[in-house]
Chain A
């Protein structure tokens, strides 16, 4: 059976609306089976990411969640769906943090993903909401990836979510393929991050004149490693850094969408984030974006990465 203009023959999903858009076509778009390997790479990265994020909270647990918390209980405004909206005793928050470390690790090794993936996403979002006074863009990227992957984990049986071993082997194992919607949603989100950020920069006077990188490197409280003096004292380099950031961010959406330039785009994106991460204190933003970028990997590259991963799920 093929899905042409008439759609599925069972009638329920097969009606094509006058505009040519039907539920059947949308289903084909979102539910089309694709190789699970890129998703498994991204999911593994997400597991490592939330585990690392949770572990980084441990030294400051008492100041953020504990009896000595600096958190004003009236401060966070976006706790509508948070697990800790009504029950926020330190013991409960501590149990939540411990559960996030365990579930994040389970996601990273591909175990019980129907439970561990949505649980890790829900706990990460809830803890980040509780600690919203300590949050920056990194937590937003993690939240959005968690929402899409968590929803997929929840509604898809574990043995249909793909593993490092079975990804891409549809004949040998039914979980070699997945519906592509979680990958598509994360891809869309990543494209929008670059596009929006690039367009905003394009409108800024300092980005236009090319001095933005110079000023950014001078913000002490955001500094990770001090930039070499030749970088900030050479006007041409400063201008080049500023403009190349804008050009790469605006170019990435196009380069990532076009399969022929996708590898180049991934390389540019990783270099961009490495550059940010060396000089600026952005926490988990770079790693979170790289996890999202993994959704753009082609299946053979993703499989090569998975072969190096010791935990096969």
Chain B
């Protein structure tokens, strides 16, 4: 296209009959993005409650508030312990990675550990899966999902020595 080509010619040649559809689609999408992210929390919450299913279908749902957490939260590590009939324990850890290239794998498992910690539906499935990872699943009498959390960092600066608390989040006994 030459720079001086009239807009109408450009539109017809490049979009033809889809031009109006593209225009309307873009306008609707832009307005949807603006409304979903409106800066008034109360109004935004009510709007999201009403429209979440439609946004989910259109795949325009998003939550950038997750990048603004009240960050004095606990560090969370999750693993699985399989207790055998002879009281021995097999520990299963989720994959991790080194901080250079491995981080592009490890972030995914950090996210999974958080999801697993929060979602009871997923816990049973994962514990049942874990039992089948040992050579003799019949030797497992109990599978436990263990969360190791550090306490909340306090203050505003300076050295922070975490103390860790071990918690059994979920338990599964194979039949």
Contact = CB atoms under 8 A, between A and B. Distances in A.
A281 B157 contact: no
A134 interface: yes
Interface string A228-243: 0100111101110000
A283 B109 contact: no
Contact of B8 (A1, A134, A192, A212): A1
A250 to B, nearest CB: 11
Interface size class of A (residues with CB under 8 A): 35 or more
A221 B75 contact: yes
A134 B109 contact: yes
B175 to A, nearest CB: 19
A160 B25 CA distance: 20
Contacts, number: 236
Interface residues of B, number: 78
B118 to A, nearest CB: 10
Nearest to B6: A1
B160 A218 contact: yes
Interface of A: 1-3, 8, 10, 13, 23, 26-28, 30-33, 52-53, 56-57, 59-60, 63, 68, 70, 72, 74-75, 77-78, 80-81, 125, 131, 133-138, 140, 143-144, 147-148, 151, 155-156, 160, 170-171, 174, 176-177, 179, 181, 184-185, 188-189, 192-193, 195-201, 203-207, 209-212, 214-216, 218-222, 224-225, 229, 232-235, 237-239, 281-284
Given A195-B39, A211-B155, 20 more contacts: A1-B7, A27-B11, A30-B22, A30-B26, A31-B7, A31-B14, A31-B19, A56-B108, A59-B105, A68-B129, A72-B122, A78-B61, A131-B108, A148-B29, A192-B34, A193-B64, A195-B37, A196-B39, A198-B68, A229-B159
